[in-house]
Structure formats: structure tokens, C-alpha cells
Amino acid sequence: MRLGIIGAAGQVGQEFLKHCPADNLALWDIEDFDVTDYAAVEKALRSRPDLNAVVNLAAFHNVNQCEEQPSLAYAVNATGAYNVAKAAARLGLKMVFFASDYVFGQDRTRRRPYVESDPVGPLNIYGASKVAGEHLVRAMNPNHLIVRTSSLFGVVTSKKGWTFPEMIVSRAREGQPLKVVTDQIMAPTYTYHLVEKVLELLAKDATGTIHVCNSGECSWHQFAVETLALLNMDYPIAECTSDAFPSPAIRPAYSVMASERMEPLGIAPLPHWKEALKLYLQEKGWLQ
């Protein structure tokens, strides 16, 4: 399968290069065109008539900045998604759109994983803009795959330059104090496993909305503790609540996702997040 990757320089985009022959990929990033410009999107896709699908990873995902710049959040995450979906549909391409666990969160009593059929309910602009993007993708391109995932970590870092486990290890090695929240529960997801599973879904010609996250759940504090424990680093990590880190955006207290759709497709669930974390640390060369 030949894929066009929009947002190829990002954390997930670079993971596709580990799994796919370079000749099977068309790679674009913000320097090549802006997803908010429909004409530019269609021109780029038309330049590669050999493609089978386009993967839209372009996103404005700084959650706090989305609160401060809602117009930009909706322009990229919603209008951009509309443009790619529309252009892909015109050219007969499958559209893959990446969404987030932050489309959920309004149910403050939730303590069981969200599945694909659960109603959305975002708490912040980022989540709301992703919901809008989902709706527009569904409306514009029937041949779509919406992938909801969460709390990504991987050896290929995002443009911010680090992932959560890397930050925890770095600060511990430097002797900096560590304080991590206990009241945000999520499903950490290893980007290697994420892309591996997305390619499996594409091979099955899956459509619709599917949750793709590592199994299990934890707080960010538990995630940090497990990271250092696997590396045999005896270093204190203080517990705190989200109130210790005031921010413009409200984060969900519980945003764990699981899939009710993978099994009927004959696709196995992703490994537990603890196993994924171990594999990540091995890939980093930090763990034998």
C-alpha cells in the first residue's frame, strides 16, 4: 500500500518510516503545504496519483495553546481535516485521521474504558476541535478510518523534543525534583505499536472509528514510577493533583480507551502499556 503522510516530521509520521519502504511513502509537512489551504492540499495529492490512502497527522495539539488560540485549533484540526478528506474523496483515496482521547472527559464519574460507540464529550478546545474534525471527515469521505489514540510515547520524539518517559528519566538523572499527577488516568500508547496496528487495519481495509491504544490504564504518576522501576532507578517521585499545575485547559480525570471493533476484524489488542514501556526503553538502548 502506498501512503501519503501529512505531518510526516512529527512523532507518529516518522514512525511510518520504520514500518514502510520509503518508496511506498509520500512525505509532506508544514513546509510543503498548509492543510488549511484546500487548493494546496489537492495539488499535493494530485502530484502522487500512485497513492492508495492519505494519512492526516497535521494537528495543533498543544492543549493549553489551543485554549488561547481557538481559531487556529479549529482551522488546523477541523478545517484542515475537512480539506484533506474532501481532496482524498475527489481523488478516490482512503482518508486516515488521527484523533484523541480528549474527545472524552465530560463524564466525571467514568471509571471504565471508553469504546467507539460511547458518546463524545470534550472538556477543552483541543478535544472539541478534534470532535469537529471527526465529524467533517465522516461527512466528506465515506472511505475513512478515524484512529483515536492517547498519551503517546516513542523513540522518535515530537517537535517539542521529548516524550514523557524520557523527561522523567532525564530529570531523575540530573537530580531534579519530580512531582507528577495522580488524578489523570489514561492509556499510554507506544507509537511503534500504534503505527503497526494502523497498518494492520489498513491491510484489512477497516473503516469508521477505532480506538488504538496500549492495553491497561494508569495515572501519569504510575507511568513515571514504572519507568524508573524498569531502569532500577531508586528516585523519589512526589504525588500531586492537577491543581499543582494550573493551566488554561482542563484535562480529563479519566480518558482510558479500549476497542470493541478490533476483535470482530480479527485484530489482536495492543500489548499492555507496561510491556510497551519495556520495549520502548529497550529501543532507546536504556534497558537490556
Share of the chain above pLDDT 70, in %: 99
Indicate the SS3 state at residue 125.
Answer: helix
- Residue 135 confidence (pLDDT) above 70: yes
- Residue 169 confidence (pLDDT) above 80: yes
192 as an active site residue: the answer is no
Residue 153 pairs in a beta bridge with 190
Span 234-249, average pLDDT: 96
Q: Which of the two residues, 108 and 123, has the higher pLDDT score?
A: 123
**Which pLDDT belongs to residue 158?**
63
pTM: 0.96
Q: Are the C-beta atoms of 270 and 113 separated by less than 8 Å?
A: no
Q: Which of the two residues, 157 and 89, has the higher pLDDT score?
A: 89
> Quick one: pLDDT band at residue 162, thresholds 50, 70, 90?
confident
Please, what is the average pLDDT of the chain? 96
Q: Are the C-beta atoms of 46 and 16 separated by less than 8 Å?
A: no
Choose the catalytic residue: 74, 82, 102, 126: 126
**Which pLDDT belongs to residue 288?**
83
Q: Which of the two residues, 247 and 162, has the higher pLDDT score?
A: 247
- CA distance readout (Å), 202 to 2, 13, 44, 197: 11, 16, 22, 9
Residues 238-242: contacts with CB within 8 Å, 24+ apart? 238/177, 238/178, 238/179, 238/180, 239/179, 239/180, 239/182, 240/179, 240/180, 240/181, 240/182, 241/181, 241/182, 241/183, 242/181, 242/183, 242/184
pLDDT digits (tens, 9 = 90+) for 1-51: 999 999 999 999 999 999 999 999 999 999 999 999 999 999 999 999 999
Span 133-159, average pLDDT: 93
* CA 268 – CA 278 distance, rounded (Å): 19
> Quick one: pLDDT band at residue 123, thresholds 50, 70, 90?
very high
Span 276-288, average pLDDT: 95
Dihedral angle of Cα 284, 191, 76, 42, to the nearest 10 degrees: 110
- Residue 257 confidence (pLDDT) above 90: yes
**Which pLDDT belongs to residue 156?**
84
Domain boundaries, the chain: 3-154+188-215+257-272
Share of the chain above pLDDT 90, in %: 97
**Which pLDDT belongs to residue 160?**
59
- CATH architecture of the region 3-154+188-215+257-272: 3-Layer(aba) Sandwich (3.40)
